[in-house]
């Protein structure tokens, strides 16, 4: 860092007095992180853009109350996730009310055991094992699969498996029992894994 | 009740198994099943690998997406109105 570049503290100070350029310079380095966080929760770019805009307004408004106890990026990121959750609540999705589809597991025989043909099928889920172009395609498949999950399931997967929130914390936030969080998490994991698995094994995504 | 659960039951309960919320007997049965069944063990490996894979695939894009820059521009426009 050079002496010429204004410090984050300096930018925060100037932003609170209405310096719009300072605010831009403050958030610009974290914009990719912030956008990515809301996109993961909302699953589509139009909603994510709206949520990020809401979040930036909240960040700007609450900046005088930012006390520097955590890093600005962590503080702002949390605001972004909350903004995404608010946007999510405002979007009523019919398919959340529907009876959930059966999970893409099996096929099993009458006793619930795997049929012979399935034996020998190995799940290979490692990003590093794939070429960059394949990773980009897998990214698109995963984004689509996330968008196709019921919102209540995607949100649990994102918060638990990608943001490392505790199950209890998610349950409190969504006002559902922890057991429900685990059920939704499991359904989401199985659905996502099945989509990537089909892709990885060379079938049509 | 038999100790060893079926593949179907194991695969339905893997998240509860990973979270450690199942009764001891059930946990033991699944543990045993996973040592004997390659398919279910593979499903478990997949579940464990999924968070890292998802984080790698959906990490922040470089350069910053246009949608993020648009959101900032719109927000700054609003603030100056
Ligand atoms: Zn099995």
Give one word for A164, left, alpha or beta, with left for phi > 0 and alpha for psi -120 to 50.
left
Domain locations in chain B as residue ranges: 7-80
pLDDT at B29: 96
Nearest to A36 among B47, B61, B63 (CB): B61
Q: Is residue A44 within 8 Å of residue A69, measured between CB atoms?
A: no
Phi (first) and psi of residue A2, to 5 degrees: -90, 160
Match domain B7-80 to its CATH number in 3.30.420, 2.60.120, 1.10.287, 1.10.10: 1.10.10
Among the listed residues A152, A137, A157, the one whose alpha carbon sits nearest the alpha carbon of residue A205: A137
Q: Chain B contact for A193, CB < 8 A?
A: yes
List all residues 6 or more positions away from B74 whose beta carbon is below 8 Å from its beta carbon: A53
Match domain A6-89 to its CATH number in 1.10.287.3510, 3.30.70.1350, 1.10.1740.10, 1.20.1260.10: 1.10.1740.10
Q: Is the pTM of this model over 0.95?
A: no
A32 and B19 within 8 Å at the Cβ level: the answer is no
Q: Which of residues 123-162 of A touch B (CB under 8 A)?
A: 123, 125-128, 135, 138-139, 142-143, 157, 161-162
A28 and B64 within 8 Å at the Cβ level: the answer is yes
B64 and A185 within 8 Å at the Cβ level: the answer is no
pLDDT at A202: 43
pLDDT at A203: 38
Coil, strand or helix at A69: coil
Q: Chain B contact for A45, CB < 8 A?
A: yes
Among the listed residues A83, A76, A93, the one whose alpha carbon sits nearest the alpha carbon of residue A40: A83
Using an 8 Å CB-CB cutoff, list chain B residues near A34.
Answer: 68
Distance B41 CA to ligand 1 centre (A): 7
Question: Interhelix angle for A20-27 vs B66-80, to 10°?
Answer: 160
A192 and B54 within 8 Å at the Cβ level: the answer is yes
ipTM here: 0.85
Length of chain A: 205
List all residues 6 or more positions away from B1 whose beta carbon is below 8 Å from its beta carbon: none
For domain A120-200, the CATH architecture is Orthogonal Bundle (1.10)
Report the distance separating Cα A194 and Cα A199, nearest Å: 9
B75 and A31 within 8 Å at the Cβ level: the answer is no
Using an 8 Å CB-CB cutoff, list chain A residues near B60.
Answer: 32-33, 35-36
Q: Identify the residue whose tokens are 């309960």.
A: B13
Q: Identify the residue whose tokens are 């955590």.
A: A70
Q: Residue A77 is encoded by which pair of tokens?
A: 């990121």
Per-residue pLDDT tens digits for A169-183: 899 878 889 999 999
For residue B47, what is the nearest residue in chain A, using CA coordinates? A189
For residue A192, what is the nearest residue in chain B, using CA coordinates? B50
B53 and A36 within 8 Å at the Cβ level: the answer is no
Q: Residue A193 is encoded by which pair of tokens?
A: 């894994």
Q: Across the 81 residues of chain B, what is the mean pLDDT of every consecutive 10-residue run?
A: 86 96 96 94 88 85 85 88 72
Domain locations in chain A as residue ranges: 6-89, 120-200
B51 and A33 within 8 Å at the Cβ level: the answer is no
Residue ranges in chain A modelled with pLDDT below 50: 1-4, 94, 117-120, 202-205
pLDDT at A1: 41
């Amino acid at each position: 860092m050079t002496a010429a570049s204004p410090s984050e503290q300096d930018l925060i100070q100037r932003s609170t007095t209405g310096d719009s350029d300072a605010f831009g310079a403050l958030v610009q380095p974290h914009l990719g992180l912030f956008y990515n966080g809301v996109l993961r929760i909302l699953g589509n770019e139009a909603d994510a853009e709206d949520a990020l805009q809401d979040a930036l307004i909240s960040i700007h408004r609450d900046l005088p109350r930012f006390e520097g106890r955590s890093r600005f990026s962590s503080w702002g990121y949390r605001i972004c996730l909350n903004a995404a959750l608010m946007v999510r609540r405002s979007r009523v999705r019919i398919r959340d009310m529907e009876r959930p589809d059966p999970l893409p597991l099996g096929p099993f025989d009458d006793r619930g055991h795997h049929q012979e043909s399935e034996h020998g099928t190995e799940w290979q889920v490692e990003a590093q094992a794939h070429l960059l172009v394949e990773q980009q395609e897998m990214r698109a498949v995963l984004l689509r699969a996330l968008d196709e999950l019921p919102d209540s399931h995607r949100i649990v997967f994102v918060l638990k498996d990608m943001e490392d929130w505790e199950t209890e914390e998610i349950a409190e936030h969504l006002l559902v029992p922890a057991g429900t969080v685990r059920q939704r998490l499991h359904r989401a994991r199985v659905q996502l894994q099945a989509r990537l698995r089909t892709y990885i094994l060379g079938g049509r995504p | 009740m038999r100790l060893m659960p079926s593949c179907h039951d194991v695969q339905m309960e893997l998240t509860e198994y990973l979270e450690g919320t199942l009764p001891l007997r059930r946990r033991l049965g699944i543990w045993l099943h996973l040592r004997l069944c390659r398919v279910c063990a593979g499903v478990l490996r997949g579940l464990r690998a999924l968070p890292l894979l998802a984080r790698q695939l959906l990490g922040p894009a470089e350069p910053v997406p246009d949608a993020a820059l648009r959101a900032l521009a719109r927000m700054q426009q609003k603030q100056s109105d």
